[in-house]
Amino acid sequence: MKIKEGFVYREIMGQGVVVPTGKASVEFSGMVKLNETGAYIWKKIEQEYSQAAIVEELLKEYDVSKEQATESVRKFVSDMTDKGFLE
Amino acid sequence: MCKIAGLVYEIEYKYDGLKRHFEDYLIDECSGEKIYHITYSQKDYDEVGADDCCANPSYIEFICIMQNIIMQLPKNRLVMHGAVVEYKNKAYLFTAPSGTGKTTHISMWTKYLKDKVRIINGDKPVLVVNEDEVIAFGAPWCGKEGWQINTNAPLAGICLLERGNENLIKEINPGKYIEYFLKELYIGSSKNTLLDVVDIFEKISRSVRFYHMKCNISKEAAKCSFEKMTGDKWSEMIE
């Protein structure tokens, strides 16, 4: 699982957004705002964490159950894959 | 030659009507600064003319010139769709899609605050984005009211206007509303990807406060935005 080339993460006053550039901007027009958890997961994917490792990190960082964390990561990855941001 | 937002332009034009738009910006000479040569093609002219079949030739030419100036803007500059008003040497910009009531809203500021405020530009000011501040400049393109002054002031606030029944303004995190603001920004063609627009917006957000306002057309609406954005008391300003 990695971020497709051309999708760039930016933060505006703490608000994370994913912006397509170059070829990616032909496949996807516009940008996507991420919520806090989404931004956290995105940055871990950038650092090449596996899904299981991201779940572990979420458990350390936030007061959530393993089920909730697993579901958050699964949903985010599936959503981003559907959008064509991950491969 | 003319000077707009600190840059020198030499404009090639055909119609005499163009001159009056630029008369407040004319200069006799420049001292070794870069001169931007501005021209336009027949294709530009036809495209603009097709959008507005009733416009006269010199107005179409004016729009073509404006577009070409915007295309050549260096990367720390942009044009923002909005009306910008100056109070105590600070600029306050109201932005919204056309027809929302920016002009009506700032005309309330000038109606009640009189000579304590002045409109720098009624439609598309030039913003120069520096490391620690953004400067709003007057420009010849200014909407049908012709509100423009060849001056500048540091930009203190940007307010996104929306029509509402009551008047309500709040300071916002610009990142949460980014899509609304990005639609109103125009940058040069040399750096014109979505990422460039996002990056310049991010830089603006570091030194300017952002607001969202729902408003009706009333004196109360002007009081509401004035007090929130400037921090001064409306009642002390009105005679």
Helix H or strand E segment including A24: helix A24-27
- B139: tokens are 């420009």
Torsion from C-alpha of A62, A65, A71, A74, nearest 10 degrees: 60
Give the nearest chain A residue to B208 (CA atoms).
A13
pLDDT at A25 over 90: no
What is the structure's pLDDT at B30? Answer: 84
Q: Which residue of A has its CA nearest to B204?
A: A12
Nearest by CB to A31, from B173, B194, B199: name it: B194
Strands B126-129 and B77-80: antiparallel
Give me the average pLDDT of each 10-residue run along chain B (239 residues): 96 92 93 93 92 84 95 94 97 95 94 96 97 97 92 98 96 96 87 87 97 95 98 90
Predicted local confidence at residue A19, as pLDDT:
95
Tokens of B217: 């057309």
The C-alpha atoms of residue B175 and residue B40 are separated, in whole angstroms, by 36
pLDDT digits (tens, 9 = 90+) for A4-22: 999 999 999 999 999 999 8
pLDDT tens, position by position, A29-66: 889 999 999 999 999 999 999 999 999 999 999 999 99
* Cα–Cα distance for residue pair A30/B217, rounded to 1 Å: 33
**B175 at A interface, C-beta within 8 A:** yes
For chain B, where are the alpha helices, taking DSSP H only? Answer: 18-22, 42-51, 57-71, 102-113, 178-182, 194-207, 219-230
Between residues 2 and 31 of chain A, which touch chain B (CB distance below 8 Å)? Answer: 8, 10-17, 19-21, 25, 30-31
Nearest-CB residue to A13 (from B174, B195, B198): B174
Q: Packing angle between helix B102-113 and helix B219-230, nearest 10 degrees?
A: 80
